[in-house]
Structure 1
Amino acid sequence: MNTQQIADRLVELCRAGNFEQAYDELFAEDAENIEMPTTAEGPLGNAKGLDAIRRKGAAWEEGIEEMHGGSVGEPIVAGNWFALPMSMDVTFKGRGRMAMDELCVYQVRDGRIVREQFFYDT
């Protein structure tokens, strides 16, 4: 798949809530996940390798009390990179309800996502 096809497939899978399937189909084993500098440490911080990214995803889901809504915008593709706007309205266990907007940037190499980086207000 080329970058546009990968971007379109990721949008399709995210909109359906099929995150594990996205990892299986689209991510490289050595993929890297990067958060904002203020949240880079800990179980929800940066992750290197698909297994670590999966663990981080599981920890994220464990912290959610209720998902009220969210959206995934259309991808913008430039060469081996693409960006997606995402939003969510979620109640976290012990932290209350929060609306979040972020820009997610992905790098593709050899038909797989090798890097994802999230930009959002902290």
Structure 2
Amino acid sequence: MSTATVANRLVSLCREGKFEEAQRELYAKDAISIEPQEMSNGPMGNVKGLKAILEKGQHWAESVEAVHNNEISDPVVADGWFSVAMHVDATMKGRGRADMREICVYHVKNDKIVQEQFFYDVH
């Protein structure tokens, strides 16, 4: 599977809100997830391994009260890398409504995502 194929499949599933399905299908078992330095610790911080990435996703899903808008750009692909812009407008439990925008960069090796890294401003 080419990087473009992996990228397009990830975008397709994420646009449908199927984030966990995307991770189970497209991520390597030893994939890593990297957040901005200010957010690198804690349950939503940097993790290694598909199990930890799935747990991180579950923790995020449990913190969301309602999603009002979920947008993912078409991917930009270069060799084994691709990036997308994500925009989520959601009401977070106990925190109110949040308008979140980020750039997500993925590295693909042997037909699987081996790294995801997120770039966003921490407010």
Name the TM tier (shorter chain).
Answer: over 0.9
Matches within 5 A, 1:4-19: 4-19=4-19
Give the structure 2 partner of residue 20 of structure 1. Answer: 20
Give the structure 2 partner of residue 48 of structure 1. Answer: 48
Give the structure 1 partner of residue 79 of structure 2. Answer: 79
Give the structure 2 partner of residue 59 of structure 1. Answer: 59
Cα RMSD, aligned residues only: 0.7
Unpaired runs of at least 5, structure 1? none
Unpaired runs of at least 5, structure 2? none
Tell me by how many angstroms 1:7 deviates.
0.3
Tell me by how many angstroms 1:96 deviates.
1.1
TM-score of the two chains, using structure 2 as the length reference? 0.97
Output the CA distance in 2 between the equivalents of 1:94 and 1:18.
24
Letter in 2 for 1:73: S
Output the CA distance in 2 between the equivalents of 1:62 and 1:21.
16
Tell me by how many angstroms 1:78 deviates.
0.4
Q: Secondary structure at the match of 1:44?
A: coil
Identity %: 51
Output the CA distance in 1 between the equivalents of 2:37 and 2:59.
19
Tell me by how many angstroms 1:75 deviates.
0.3
Letter in 2 for 1:8: N
**Alignment of 1:108 onto 2:108:** yes
Output the CA distance in 2 between the equivalents of 1:69 and 1:53.
23
TM-score of the two chains, using structure 1 as the length reference? 0.98
Output the CA distance in 2 between the equivalents of 1:84 and 1:71.
10
Letter in 1 for 2:49: G
Letter in 2 for 1:104: C
Give the structure 1 partner of residue 119 of structure 2. Answer: 119
